[in-house]
Amino acid sequence: MHSFAKRRFGAALTWLLIVPVWVCYKKKAFFRGAILLSAVVAGFVLVAPMNFAIREGDLSFQLAKGSLDGGRTQIPLGPIGWINLKTHAVPINLKVNLVVDRKTLTTGQDLPGRWQSGVKRFSYDAPSAFWVFIGFRIALIAWIGTCLGIIVSNGGRSWWNKRLLRNAAIGFISFSLLAGGLVVISYLTLDRNPKKEYIGVVKDLRKGFAAAMVIGNGWSFDKNYLQNIVDGAAVVAGQLSQPSIDTGTSILCASDFQGNAAGMKLVDGIVKAKGNISAVILAGDIVQTGQALDTYMLRNSLTFDKTKIPVWYIDGNHEDQSSDQALRKALGYKRLDNQTMTVNGVTITGQSDPDGLDSGFEPTPEELANSSAELLRKWNNFATPPDIVVVHEIAQAKGVIEAAKAANQPLTVVYGHDHLVKHSADGSVNLIDCGTSGAWGFEKISANPSTAYTFQILDFSSGPNPMLTGVWTLEFYGLDDGTSIRYFPIN
């Protein structure tokens, strides 16, 4: 618990314990008023937040009035609103707020804790902090009951009369049972897959870029249940506090739609909701059959102004000559092959799949090796190496990756094809696999509503030499209306 919280806690104890006893000792006539004041102060402390230092950062819990249809666990999202999880039947809300220690934030992994002078400085994990919070609240409620029992006894006229002691004991026991009963009822009515409610601006954002998050299924009332809440809050707090939010350039990357217009509509929603996307990169397999008609199915998907937010692409093995022409002429996309594009100082080039104009074939290892050699030749001819290279298969960038590593040259490689969203680093090179933005098709999504549409957002710094500062991984779980957001800061 932080020093500020300790001082506030100490002041509360002064009012709750020392002042009533002192007044009783000095002026018994004011004893009843002092007990009343003590109960009022206890009430204020009851609804005040209680802060803890945990490994993820600074955690606070707070009780608030709920709805008659049940209580919520509320996670604040700063200026964009709240997420409410309808977790229990008792009409009392639990607010969970976490301020992440940014120096130790490692989203998607076990957060390593905070260090000061070489020593870890946290005393609680999330579950133990929660139970300390609950225990202290039960004690406050019991004290309020004791005070009310004394007041009912007209305390102060005779300090040690039996009526006062009896009513104080009745108040203590009854209010303790009340508090304990609320905890038990909350436990018995706990919803292990709670309904999510979005409050504020985030309600409009969640269908595109859900800056919120969704805590996973499979809840149980154990350490994981409480830790899941805090882990989710850590992701949110980390996103809201990351310096890269003020980045100069954000580029949305996607791949492997294979004709699924729903995935392209999600691109449209992300661009509009996030508000600071500078360009969109499509790493191939935009269509399924390679025919122009297949491309036209996507014509009305992107409604933003492509002259202000350009859409750049390379062909995958599912594209063909007719679909490639339609992507450029009918949809207004720009192919990256044999040229570089620049947005806010970030330079981008790309190379289509070896079979990018011959739909439906898988390139041979020899074709991939030739593609890699051709891309490396282009790379060596650039006066200044590009910041981003886009390919459909990672093997196409093998030569460029080795050259960048050998020169310790920062490089970001964007690719797809394998339908597995991920981010990794290889020396000075960041590898961004876009996964799939609908390639599994509607049949698969209908059979498994949790099938994900995946996207990557690259954040680059401002200035004459932009550097990759962070990667956002977005997953939208098909018909399940769920969203997962992970943020990876780049040092």
Long-range contacts of 200-207 (CB under 8 A, 24+ apart): 200/77, 200/80, 200/81, 200/82, 201/79, 201/80, 201/81, 202/77, 202/80, 202/81, 202/82, 202/83, 203/81, 204/273, 205/80, 205/273, 206/483, 207/269, 207/273
Q: Is 190 exposed, middle or buried (0-12, 13-18, 19+ CB in 10 A)?
A: middle
Terminal CA-CA length for the chain: 30
Measuring CA to CA, how many Å separate 220 from each of 213, 236, 327, 464? 19, 22, 48, 50
Q: What is the 3-state secondary structure (H, E, C) of the chain?
A: CCHHHHHHHHHHHHHHHHHHHHHHHHCHHHHHHHHHHHHHHHHHHHHCCEEEEECCEEEEEEEEECECCEEEEEEECHHHCEEEEEEECCCEEEEEEEEECHHHCCCCCCCCCCEECCEECCCECHHHHHHHHHHHHHHHHHHHHHHHHHHHCCCCCCCCCHHHHHHHHHHHHHHHHHHHHHHHHHHHCCCCCCEEEEECCHHHHCCCCCCCCCCCCCCCCCHHHHHHHHHHHHHHHHHHHCHHHHCCEEEEEECCCCCCHHHHHHHHHHHHHHCCEEEEEECCCCCCCCCHHHHHCCCCCCCCCCCCCCEEECCCCCCCHHHHHHHHHCCCCEECECCEEEECCEEEEEECCCCCCCCCCCCCHHHHHHHHHHHHHHHHHCCCCCCEEEECCHHHHHHHHHHHHHCCCCEEEEECCCCCCEEEEECCEEEEECCCCCCCHHHHHHHCCCCCEEEEEEEECCCCCCCEEEEEEEEECHHHCCEEEEEEECC
Instruction: State the pairing for strand pair 346-351/340-343.
Output: antiparallel
The C-alpha atoms of residue 261 and residue 297 are separated, in whole angstroms, by 7
The C-alpha atoms of residue 150 and residue 9 are separated, in whole angstroms, by 24
The C-alpha atoms of residue 450 and residue 455 are separated, in whole angstroms, by 15
pLDDT the model gives residue 369: 94
Phi, psi dihedrals of residue 197, rounded to the nearest 5°: -120, 135
pLDDT in tens, the chain (491 residues): 444 555 555 666 555 655 555 555 555 556 677 778 888 888 888 888 888 877 666 778 888 888 888 888 887 655 445 678 788 888 888 888 766 554 444 333 333 333 333 334 446 677 788 888 888 888 888 888 888 887 776 644 555 566 777 777 888 888 888 888 888 888 787 776 777 776 754 554 443 333 333 333 333 334 455 555 555 555 555 444 443 344 578 899 999 988 888 888 888 888 877 778 899 999 988 888 877 878 888 888 888 999 899 999 999 988 888 888 889 888 999 999 988 999 999 999 999 998 877 755 788 889 999 999 999 999 888 888 899 999 999 999 999 999 999 999 999 999 999 888 888 889 999 999 999 888 766 556 656 666 778 899 998 988 788 899 888 888 876 555 556 677 777 86
The set of residues, in sequence order, having a beta carbon less than 8 Å from that of 189 and lying 6+ positions away, is: 70, 88, 89, 90
CB 32 within 8 A of CB 156: yes
Report residue 275 as tokens: 């508000």
C-alpha dihedral sign at 351, 352, 354, 357: negative
Angle (deg, nearest 10), helices 162-188 and 126-152: 150
pLDDT the model gives residue 403: 94
Give this prediction's pTM.
0.57
Please choose, from the candidates 413, 421, 378, the residue with its C-alpha nearest in 3D space to the C-alpha of residue 397.
413
The C-alpha atoms of residue 44 and residue 60 are separated, in whole angstroms, by 16
CB 284 within 8 A of CB 255: yes
pLDDT the model gives residue 144: 87
Measuring CA to CA, how many Å separate 90 from each of 82, 94, 174, 191, 215? 20, 11, 18, 12, 21
The C-alpha atoms of residue 418 and residue 395 are separated, in whole angstroms, by 12
The C-alpha atoms of residue 156 and residue 423 are separated, in whole angstroms, by 70
Which domains are seen in the chain, by residue range?
3-235 (no CATH), 245-489 (3.60.21.10)
Angle (deg, nearest 10), helices 365-381 and 398-406: 40
